[in-house]
Chains A and B, each alone.
Chain A
Amino acid sequence: MMKRLIPSNEGVVGIVTAFLIVGLIVIVFSVVQTVYVPQWMKENEADHMEAIADQFSQLKFAIDTHSQFKDVNNPMTTSITLGNKEMPVLASSRAYGSIEIIPEQFILKISGALESNSTTSLNTLKYSSSNAYFLDQEYTYEAGAVILSQYQGDTMAIKPSFSITKEGSREYNISINLVNITPVGDKNSISGYGNYPIKTQYISTNEFEIIRISDFSIQTEFSNSWERFLNNSLTQVGLNYSGIGEDKGLHSYYITSDANQVKVVFFTELVINVNIKLIEISAQIAPGWFT
């Protein structure tokens, strides 16, 4: 026996309402997911980069304090937040980051000195972000300076301890505090997204003077930042800049620069003495216990 299908409109309103409600929810989620989530995440990651800038300021403050008090028995701990978490419920990507101590990334060469030339190599401490929405940035602690770099260029966020004083009509003394970061154990890098402590401790200071130098050069990844910094520092004490790579005779110094090096050449009538404090600081950037 066959059943007959009888047309009926019962329940049509309920079905239409259900479809509309489901559609409404889908549209809301789609708009939030495609328009708002990327903007929120971009702002989160930009805020995180600002937080990294603050944390590098604290790191520099800790290292400067070590340099000042020279106390080998009092380590200090600051922290770095490597990344940030994704948003709950909504689909978004987590941002990661890494810190590493890079050996011999900064080399200061002083030549043309009266007695002996000098070459000083320093390790640097670098944070690199792996953002999903905001552009990637790197913060590097290098020779006492904090440098912000991103794809398009770099800038010196915090200046190093570098001073020039005029002693006579033609004599200038340059004082530089160079900080060398030494890793503790074999742990040179760490990656992740959490909050990680950096334990720093004073080791030693070696002070020496080089008199009557003719030029010095810096090998660094951030030659633009150092060139601008050196140029500003030298002109502020009245030294005359002759232009990039130009020797005009009447001026005090000139600068040559390429992607990995900055060189400052002083003219012969000047007496330039350099006083260097090489400060050794140990940094433990990975969890663990070392003696």
Chain B
Amino acid sequence: MRNKRKNVAVSEIIGTVLLLGITVALFSILCVVVLAYPHVSAPPSVNLVGMIDNDCLVIEHRGGESLSPETIIVISNETSTTRYILKNVNMSDYSNNSQWDVGEWISIDVSNISKADVAVIDQITGSVIMTGKFKN
């Protein structure tokens, strides 16, 4: 008795296997993406304005979310980079909560710096929330 090769329903099987494969692959990719997602909140939405006043760099909070006392202020020029933590700089903390709130300003003495870049970094989200250049 001869064995007959049957090709009936082969395309359906291949289609189903491919569909299953695609679904499993997408599901796996999504799981990896979701599980690897760093659950860090978005950078704070805040409006900061910087200016030079009497040899001091003054940065004022002009609205938006409050910034934590751990916020970093970096002043850098061609020769040096100085890093300040908000809680250690001179701040007008009108609301007495150690946070940098609307209407409050910080002041850093830059009398020995003629020209530099300034950046304010939110340490919680690790994001830069303000950059600028100043000339003294």
Query: Which A residues are within 8 Å of any B CB, using their own CB?
Result: 13-14, 16-17, 20-21, 23-24, 27-28, 31, 35, 39, 42-43, 46, 49-50, 53, 134-135, 137, 148-150, 152-155, 157, 224-225, 228
Complexed CA–CA distance, A67 and B61 (Å): 31
B30 and A27 contact, CB distance less than 8 A: yes
**Which of chain B's residues have a CB closer than 8 A to the CB of A53?**
63
**Which of chain B's residues have a CB closer than 8 A to the CB of A16?**
20
B30 and A28 contact, CB distance less than 8 A: yes
A150 and B19 contact, CB distance less than 8 A: no
A20 and B101 contact, CB distance less than 8 A: no
For the complex with contacts A148-B102, A224-B94, 18 further pairs of A-B residues with Cβ separation under 8 Å are A13-B20, A17-B16, A17-B20, A17-B23, A20-B23, A27-B34, A31-B34, A31-B37, A39-B42, A46-B64, A50-B47, A148-B62, A152-B99, A153-B101, A153-B102, A155-B63, A157-B63, A228-B103
**Does B65 have its Cβ within 8 Å of any Cβ on chain A?**
yes
B63 and A137 contact, CB distance less than 8 A: yes
Complexed CA–CA distance, A23 and B64 (Å): 38
A153 and B104 contact, CB distance less than 8 A: yes
Nearest CB in chain B: distance from A48 CB, A: 11
Most A C-beta atoms less than 10 A away, residue of B30, B64, B66: B64
Question: B42 touches which one: A31, A42, A150 (CB < 8 A)?
Answer: A42
Question: B103 touches which one: A27, A42, A225 (CB < 8 A)?
Answer: A225
Question: Which residue of chain A lies nearest to B104 when distances are taken between CB atoms in the complex?
Answer: A153
Nearest CB in chain A: distance from B32 CB, A: 12
A152 and B101 contact, CB distance less than 8 A: yes
Complexed CA–CA distance, A20 and B29 (Å): 13
